[in-house]
Amino acid sequence: MSVPAMPIGSPGMEVDERFQPYLVLQLNVDGSVTTFAEVNTYEEQF
């Protein structure tokens, strides 16, 4: 799993009330990457 670019508002990257939607990527054994989850609101990450 990876969350590229350290988006503002993601766990550990809180900045006031700001939030930036982000993708959680899955790194597969064959080297490919697929989207595991799409987080569009602050509440979706919990």
Tens digit of pLDDT for each residue in 1-46?
999 999 999 999 999 999 999 999 999 999 999 999 999 999 999 8
Please report, for residues 27, 29, 34, 35, 42, the alpha-carbon distance to residue 15 in angstroms, rounded to integers and kept in the order given: 28, 34, 28, 25, 12
pLDDT score recorded for residue 46: 87
